[in-house]
Amino acid sequence: MSNSTPATIEDVARIAEVSIATVSRAIHMPEKVANSTRLKVNQAIAITGYTTNAMARSLRLGRSNMILVVAPDIGDPNFSNILIGLENEARAHGYGVLIGHTQNDAQRGLEYLKFFNSNQAAGLILFTGILPFGHQMVTAQLPPSVGVFEPVFNGGIPYVGVDDMEGARKAVDLLLAEGHRKIAFIGDSRTRLAYNRRRQGYDAGLDAAGVPKDTRIVLEGDGTIESGRHAVEQLFMRDTLPTAFMCVNDQTAIGVMIGLNARSYNIPQDFSVTGFDDVPQAVFMSPSLTTIRQPRTAIGKQAMALLLELLSDGRPAETEILLRPDLVVRNSVSAPPRNWQKR
Amino acid sequence: MSNSTPATIEDVARIAEVSIATVSRAIHMPEKVANSTRLKVNQAIAITGYTTNAMARSLRLGRSNMILVVAPDIGDPNFSNILIGLENEARAHGYGVLIGHTQNDAQRGLEYLKFFNSNQAAGLILFTGILPFGHQMVTAQLPPSVGVFEPVFNGGIPYVGVDDMEGARKAVDLLLAEGHRKIAFIGDSRTRLAYNRRRQGYDAGLDAAGVPKDTRIVLEGDGTIESGRHAVEQLFMRDTLPTAFMCVNDQTAIGVMIGLNARSYNIPQDFSVTGFDDVPQAVFMSPSLTTIRQPRTAIGKQAMALLLELLSDGRPAETEILLRPDLVVRNSVSAPPRNWQKR
DNA sequence: TTGTACGCGTTATCAT
DNA sequence: ATGATAACGCGTACAA
């Protein structure tokens, strides 16, 4: 029971007085083995505390039952809920989930690719807009992979996420309905496709409402709190103030709120703010943040389902699954102040 | 170069016109092989894109070069920085890091134990106060493990963390120095040893200052935002108000601040608040949160160093490494209001 | 300096 | 219904 080395199938066979083949069958094809012997085997397993050596099993089978989730940033508040969706779906199909943290470093990405190449993982879930393995040489033979949360640029990898354009559209439409006409977009980005699509939603909303677009109030940003804060400062410096800030994600929105706060403005009386993602903190802000919710657990579940399908069928049914984002109305949006021009 | 099945050592041997033993040696003991043949082998490796199959290697060797980090909650804001320390140290010694997420579920813990038992991991880093594998049966033969961030109750596992008592002492001493005498402790816990030690620091500080302890203002809590909020409500209901809230961690402190805010009190004019951990949000709160900083990256580095030592020497040099926590003074603490009794 | 052959723990094939 | 055995890819003792 407490041997120094783990029990092997052979130990079980010896105790059950059968061959190792029978033990293996008793485990994996119970119906092909006599009741009496199955009982003996099960007892022997209980006695020895036997656990099949996944390493040997995978070596023999040429595949593992682990899925590797490759994430550039574990600290992303969006990560953990998606992960739960991934894990639950994987477990339901007999797979385990491991996480590899790349810290946005291609070198580490390559190590996890190697991990896959050694059959230590059956497939990959990618949390990054670009292949995390560095150069193109790799793309020749790509492991079974599914992108999550934002599309993967290179490599034609199937992807599960939210309809970013639709979500952004909902946010801008809310602001327009409240009467805003000077709506800033904070966090335009050429490197992140998800952010790009949100920008498109913003443009589409403005167009549909016949509101002229003003690029002076569209600001670059990388999705961090700092970038939101910085954007506010820039707008005040330039003296091109909007009445509302539509932010590319919640972190940016939080930064905007902090920046506005620091200048002693009130939200939403003086300025309205919207985010995107509905991270856990959003509800705790003051005022609580009106934002777009990502169905995170559902995204995780779908992504894993897609990957498992890809593993069994060879190719996925669909190449892009977009879930519907929901508008979450809280307290950071109101009508613009009557006299905003005068400030 | 882009074959459907990965190249094996045999493929390399064939192309290099040597035996597989020589290939293996050329890789692992380059000095034991002639320069000319080593060259041929390296070329063959380049041609085939050969990568050693870690699965087979570990099966043969009986050990892997992966360290598994077992975490109950990936979303913990303390997690990601410690992880970075762990990863850097591991990489410096040729190990890779994988993360297993248990969601506080013993069943999943057991799966990761199985992962270790299959030699897929050389050792474990535990982020939990109790063994994540469920029952005691397991403890008989425990894998090489190091606890991080808080001690592991059962099993005598070496541990790297912060001196919780000293940290708490710093917080309570600050409050005392500001003149507070009614200091609530929010987040007392019998299940989490780290929190327990923080409580001890609180008690010690009060004793040293000759301030009588009042258990009515020591409240249970599980370290969540909700628990902080709840504690505030309880104190108001009972009408046993303190002038300061010393919280067991930052999340709790954030909850307390939200609760106080909801009742329209000002911090720190009406009440002072301290946290513990210095999570990233702490600096963005308004007012920014005075707290105790955990040297997270350093903790991660030390923990991994301890585990690697344990892997090579068999037993660690020390059984408990406590780093020094630092007081971070921000804006959530001031002297108590003069007239606090009258409210 | 290099090659041969065995074993790590499994599962699958083929007999029995 | 069960057992013997080959094979998965690798590292290494031993032989050459």
For residue A135, the distance in angstroms to the closest alpha carbon of chain B comes to 15
Label residue B313 by pLDDT band (50, 70, 90): confident
> So what's the pLDDT on residue B128?
82
Mean pLDDT of chain B: 90
C1' of nucleotide C7: residue with nearest CA: B60
Q: Does A155 touch chain B (CB under 8 A)?
A: no
Which residue in A has a C-alpha nearest to residue B103's C-alpha? A84
Q: Are B25 and B32 in contact (CB under 8 A)?
A: yes
Q: How far is B5 from chain A (nearest CA, A)?
A: 10
For strands A183-188 and A244-247, give the pairing. Answer: parallel
Contact check, Cβ <8 Å, B56/A59: yes
Helix (H) or strand (E) holding B14: helix B9-16
On whether any CB of chain A is under 8 Å from the CB of B79, the answer is: yes
Chain B: residue whose CA lies nearest to A119: B55
CA proximity to A70, closest of A138, A117, A139, A116: A116
Mean pLDDT by 10 residues, chain A (343 residues): 74 95 94 94 93 91 91 89 94 92 88 85 87 59 86 81 96 98 92 91 98 95 92 95 97 94 93 96 90 96 94 79 96 88 45
Interface test with A, best of B58, B84, B99, B127 (most A CBs within 10 A): B99
Phi, psi of A249 (to 5 degrees): -155, 175
pLDDT at B3 over 60: no
Q: How many degrees, rounded to 5, is the angle at CA A84 between CA B194 and CA B89? A: 55
Bases of chain C below 7 A from a protein C-beta are 1-5, 7-13
Residues in reach of strand D, judged by a CB distance below 7 angstroms, are: A 17-22, 25, 32-34, 36-38, 56, 59-60, 62; B 5, 8-10, 20-21, 24-25, 27-28, 50, 52-53, 56-57, 59-61
What is the per-residue pLDDT for B2? 44
Contact criterion met (CB < 8 Å) for B119 and A74: no
- Asked if B84 has any chain A CB less than 8 Å from its own CB, the reply is yes
The confidence score (pLDDT) of residue A141 equals: 66
DSSP category for residue B66: E
Query: Is any Cβ of chain A less than 8 angstroms from the Cβ of B139?
Result: no
In angstroms, the CA of B60 and the C1' of D5 are apart by 20
Q: Using one digit for the tens of pLDDT, what is the confidence trace for B264-304? A: 999 999 999 999 999 988 988 889 999 999 999 999 999 99
The percent of residues above 90 in pLDDT, for chain B, comes to 68
pLDDT in tens, B78-90: 898 999 999 999 9
Q: Which residues contact B62 (CB under 8 A, 6 or more apart)?
A: B119
Nucleotide nearest to A19 (CA to C1'): D3
The alpha-carbon gap from B203 to the nearest alpha carbon of chain A, in Å, equals 31
CB B177 within 8 A of CB B334: no
Helix (H) or strand (E) holding B322: strand B320-323
Least confident of A1-5, A106-110, B208-212, B324-328: A1-5
Contact B114 A80 (CB under 8 A): no
Interval B14-35: pLDDT, tens: 999 999 999 999 999 999 999 9
pLDDT at residue A300 in the model? 96
State the pLDDT at residue B193.
Answer: 87
Contacting residues of B for A115, CB less than 8 Å apart: 54, 66, 96
Interface list for A 239-258 with B (CB within 8 A): 254, 258
The answer, yes or no, to whether residue B247 has pLDDT greater than 60, is yes
Query: How many C-beta atoms surround the C-beta of residue A314 within 10 A?
Result: 8
Tell if the pTM clears 0.85, that is, is over it: yes
Q: Does pLDDT of B135 surpass 60?
A: no
Question: What is the token pair recorded at A315?
Answer: 């190719």
pLDDT computed for residue A176 by the predictor: 98
DSSP one-letter code for B139 = G
B56–chain A nearest CA distance, Å: 6
CB contact under 8 A, A59 and B54: no
Half-sphere exposure of B54 (CA within 13 A, CB side): 24
SS (H, E, C) chain A: CCCCCCCCHHHHHHHHCCCHHHHHHHHHCHHHCCHHHHHHHHHHHHHHCCCCCHHHHHHHHCCCCEEEEEECCCCCCCHHHHHHHHHHHHHHCCCEEEEEECCCCHHHHHHHHHHHHCCCCCEEEECCCCCCCCCHHHHHHCCCEEEECCCCCCCCCCEEEECHHHHHHHHHHHHHHCCCCCEEEEEECCCCHHHHHHHHHHHHHHHHHCCCCCHHHEEECCCCHHHHHHHHHHHHHHCCCCCEEEECCHHHHHHHHHHHHHCCCCCCCCCEEECCECCHHHHHCCCCCEEEECCHHHHHHHHHHHHHHHHHHCCCCCCEEEECCEEECCCCCCCCCCCHHHC
Cβ-contact A52, A28 below 8 angstroms? no
